[in-house]
């Protein structure tokens, strides 16, 4: 049954909130458990829909999954069969594209559905296919499915160079997983450097892979014959941390956000300071105090260590409360701005200039309205807007939010938000 959030805004948040494990690290690491027949133990999992779905996909191919605690599981992918994969689950989850690389490392031939995910614009897999083809993959498309096979091309090459067509996080992760078990040495250029890509490299190296350069745009991967099981504790989620920081600031609250990996948010924190946010950065926490006023800013998303695209929408809410004209520029996705029209419904002076740019003039009061969550980050953004707004807001299609934020309404309510979950009428 579809559900909604009902939020009565105008309350300053106050208290302490803790960040959960990183969604964008959990999904590739769970997929990487398919690379070995030995058991892998993953800890600090966020209890979110995307994690549950990828676990179900692992189980559908025959992986044994055992919960060892609330956030700790053991995965053993012995005797798996790609023919049994739950294609319906695959087509609902964007990160299921990572299953392709994991299965390709173990099987000569299999079929997989095109992945789903947020509707944030065109998200072609050309970069994936080009990278994997350099590692011997032959991929064809047929009626919504991808048929993946192997060629003898480059199978005996001792060294190869792959240049990705863009800074694609999941393409980087797929190539890393395949190259880890591919004989010879792979040089990967234009690699993504995001924290969750680094996290996957750490996990693969624990499994026995030989990956150097994680955190840069140039990776060197020396293939090994076999990977072993490994244990890993997921890093805290920088996007969730940034979301809570912005929510606290926008409501002019007094909140301590704990379990923050500061080095993953350095530029975000600098941008918030530039906008006038009153914050104190600790070793693994950020404290927010009420700000007298906010300043307009230019928000431009860039590959890491630039501002993450997943935080431009929450920052836009802060721009509605800032003095002057703010420019939001997201050069990667042309569908990220659906939330702008929802903010405008609430009273924001916000305009979409073109598919990649929006202008927000502030400050303007926001008012409670019936609004829709079009994607994961837009949903979190509209929650922040509703917390700021005067009156009651209803946010529909909140499954999108559940995909990436664990019980967000309970955690926000614990720091003073008037928010509840309800079934649609």
The Cα 38–Cα 21 span in angstroms is 23
The Cα 122–Cα 400 span in angstroms is 18
Query: How far, in whole angstroms, is CA 6 from its chain's centroid?
Result: 25
Catalytic residue among 33, 40, 118, 319: 118
Identify whether the C-beta of residue 352 lies closer than 8 Å to the C-beta of residue 335.
no
Of 236, 225, 376, 222, residue with least CA distance to 314: 376
Query: How many C-beta atoms lie closer than 10 Å to residue 159's C-beta?
Result: 9
Dihedral of CA 241/408/8/13: which sign?
Answer: negative
Annotation marks residue 118 as catalytic: yes
Residues 6+ apart with CB under 8 A from 119: 335, 338, 374, 375
Number of H helices, E strands in the chain: 14, 24
Where are the strands (E) in 104-245, listed by range? 109-113, 137-142, 145-150, 159-163, 185-189, 210-212, 218-222, 231-233
* Catalytic center residues: 118
């Amino acid at each position: 049954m579809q559900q909604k959030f009902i939020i009565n805004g105008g309350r300053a948040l106050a208290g302490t909130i803790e960040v959960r494990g990183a969604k964008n690290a959990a999904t590739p690491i769970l997929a990487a458990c398919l690379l070995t027949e030995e058991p892998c133990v993953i800890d600090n999992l966020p209890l979110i829909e995307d994690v549950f779905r990828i676990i179900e996909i692992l189980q559908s191919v025959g992986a044994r999954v055992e919960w060892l605690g609330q956030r700790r599981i053991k995965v053993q992918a012995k005797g798996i069969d790609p023919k049994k994969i739950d294609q319906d689950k695959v087509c609902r989850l964007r990160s299921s594209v990572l299953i392709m690389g994991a299965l390709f490392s173990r099987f000569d031939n299999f079929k997989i559905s095109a992945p789903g995910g947020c509707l944030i614009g065109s998200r072609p897999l050309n970069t994936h296919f080009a990278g994997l083809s350099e590692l011997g993959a032959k991929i064809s498309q047929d009626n919504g499915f991808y048929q993946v096979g192997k060629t003898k091309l480059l199978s005996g090459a001792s060294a190869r160079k792959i240049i990705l067509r863009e800074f694609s996080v999941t393409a980087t992760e797929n190539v890393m997983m395949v190259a880890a078990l591919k004989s010879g040495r792979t040089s990967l250029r234009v690699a993504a450097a995001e924290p969750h890509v680094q996290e996957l490299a750490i996990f693969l190296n624990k499994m026995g892979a030989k990956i150097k350069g994680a955190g840069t745009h140039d990776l060197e991967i020396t293939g090994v014959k076999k990977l072993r099981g490994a244990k890993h504790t997921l890093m805290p989620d920088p996007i969730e941390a940034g979301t809570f920081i912005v929510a606290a600031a926008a409501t002019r609250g007094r909140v301590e956000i704990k379990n923050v990996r500061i080095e993953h948010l350095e530029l975000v924190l600098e941008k918030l300071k530039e906008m006038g946010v009153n914050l104190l950065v600790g070793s693994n926490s950020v404290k927010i105090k009420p700000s007298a006023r906010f300043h307009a800013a230019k928000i431009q998303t860039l590959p890491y260590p630039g501002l993450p695209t997943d935080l431009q929408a929450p920052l836009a809410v802060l721009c509605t409360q800032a003095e002057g004209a703010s420019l939001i520029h997201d050069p990667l996705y042309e569908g990220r701005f659906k939330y702008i029209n929802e903010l405008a419904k609430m009273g924001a002076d916000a305009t979409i200039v073109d598919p990649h740019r929006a202008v927000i003039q502030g400050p303007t009061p926001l008012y409670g309205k019936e609004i829709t969550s079009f994607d994961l980050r837009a949903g979190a953004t509209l929650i922040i807007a509703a917390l700021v707004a005067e009156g009651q807001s209803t946010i529909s299609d909140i499954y999108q939010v559940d995909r990436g934020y664990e019980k967000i309404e309970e955690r926000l309510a614990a720091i003073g938000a008037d928010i509840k979950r309800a079934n649609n009428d």
